[in-house]
Amino acid sequence: MANLNYKHFTLGVEEEYMVLDPKTYELISHEQQIVSEGHKLIKDKIKAEMHQAVVEVGTDICSDISEAHRDVTHLRETVADVAGELGFLVGAAGTHPFSHWQSQLITDHVRYSQLVNELQEAARSNLIFGLHVHVGMEDRRMAIHIANSARYFLPHVYALSVNSPFWEGRLTGYKSYRSRVFDKFPRTGIPDYFESIEAYENYVNLLIKTNCIDNAKKIWWDLRVHPYFNTVEFRICDVPLTVNETIAIAALFQAICAKLYKLRSQNLNFNMYHRSLINENKWRASRYGIDGDLIDFGKEQEVNTRSLIHELLNFTDDVADQLGSRPYLNTINKILEEGTGADKQLAVYQQHKDLVQVTDFIHRQFLQ
């Protein structure tokens, strides 16, 4: 069992960036100029989002975490260069510190028009920026098994990514307010357990048949078996300030999948927990980041979040070398020592009491 083949744990990383006015640091519409110019350089790896002040990028299918690191770095550098030439700045945080959604333009596209028509203010106010990590699976049966088990670890990794303490000029008291904004959408949050891939597909087909959704991409859970690809897609995290944080989180999601696969191949299973219990930990991660306690449901007690993340690193340690991810997972220790994106934003705010300074800091961290 020591030499399991982890080649199918490919990676895809998607990030959403904010477009900033260089004078005011407000969010600003780039009228899709960054997308059209970026398309000449990186093809369809850059695309528009619902709000015109947002740019989304996605890597190729990466064979390992080193390739993902190179790809994300190249995407950030390209977007920053293109934006700069057009007279804009960019940054990565789960929410903008002070811009209001009411003043932001919606992209003219039939999909977004339908979404706004259906979800109304929940859609128009959804001015948030996330990180999505796809981990490749050998087949969809394995994908649903790993998705079921990986749900437990979502709050732990989310706590490392928290990067949205401000909303519309207010200090929210949360380390990640982004998830509070997104919770207004239907079909969000921690998913249920599905006993088989057939049960999951029956659920999706029932929603389509009854006109709840027109396709499975309108299931916006924190983790899902992707509707069209053989991947488990992790969607819970705020977009991190820096490339290194993004890659560390992607490496951790990949390692969790590989470890659960290894257990499965040894006829061992990880405990399944009810979504209502996992949601308790998600709320704690959103509120406190790595500075609070999460519940260890096996022990039925509160445990320091940093301790649980160290336990998670130990749990995945035996797959790190085969995945080639140990150097990237070491960044997790740096986050635990130096703080999350939210902690760093709050430190700048404590020093300057100025949200423009916080937004400038977000911009300056983009290529760190």
Phi, psi of 47 (to 5 degrees): -150, 165
- Residue 3 lies inside a defined structural domain of this protein: no
- Residue 259 lies inside a defined structural domain of this protein: yes
- Residue 5 lies inside a defined structural domain of this protein: no
User: Is-above-0.85 flag for pTM?
Assistant: yes
Return d(Cα 344, Cα 335) in angstroms, integer: 10
As given in the structure block, the two tokens for residue 52 are 């015109």
- Residue 4 lies inside a defined structural domain of this protein: no
DSSP 8-class letter at 272: P
Return d(Cα 249, Cα 253) in angstroms, integer: 6
Strands 220-221 and 188-189 come out as: parallel
CATH number of the domain encompassing residue 96: 3.30.590.20
Q: How many domains does the chain have?
A: 1
Return d(Cα 301, Cα 312) in angstroms, integer: 17
Pair 95, 181: CB distance under 8 Å: yes
Strands 54-58 and 46-48 come out as: antiparallel
Return d(Cα 77, Cα 205) in angstroms, integer: 41
Q: How many CB atoms lie within 10 A of CB 251?
A: 29
For residue 277, how many C-alpha atoms fall within 13 Å in the half-sphere facing its CB?
Answer: 15
Q: Which domain holds residue 63?
A: 11-365
As given in the structure block, the two tokens for residue 251 are 């490496």
DSSP 8-class letter at 190: S
Helices (H) and strands (E) in the chain, counts: 15, 13
- Residue 6 lies inside a defined structural domain of this protein: no
- Residue 2 lies inside a defined structural domain of this protein: no
- Tens digit of each residue's pLDDT, the chain (368 residues): 345 677 889 999 999 999 999 999 999 999 999 999 999 999 999 999 888 899 999 999 999 999 999 999 999 999 999 999 999 999 999 999 999 987 787 778 878 778 777 779 877 877 999 999 999 999 999 999 999 999 999 999 999 999 999 999 999 999 999 999 989 888 999 999 999 999 999 999 999 999 999 999 999 999 999 988 999 999 999 999 999 999 999 999 999 999 999 999 999 988 889 999 999 999 999 999 999 999 999 899 999 999 999 999 999 999 999 999 999 999 999 999 999 999 999 999 999 999 999 999 999 999 99
- Residue 101 lies inside a defined structural domain of this protein: yes
* Residue 303 bridge partners (DSSP): 294
For residue 105, how many C-alpha atoms fall within 13 Å in the half-sphere facing its CB?
Answer: 12
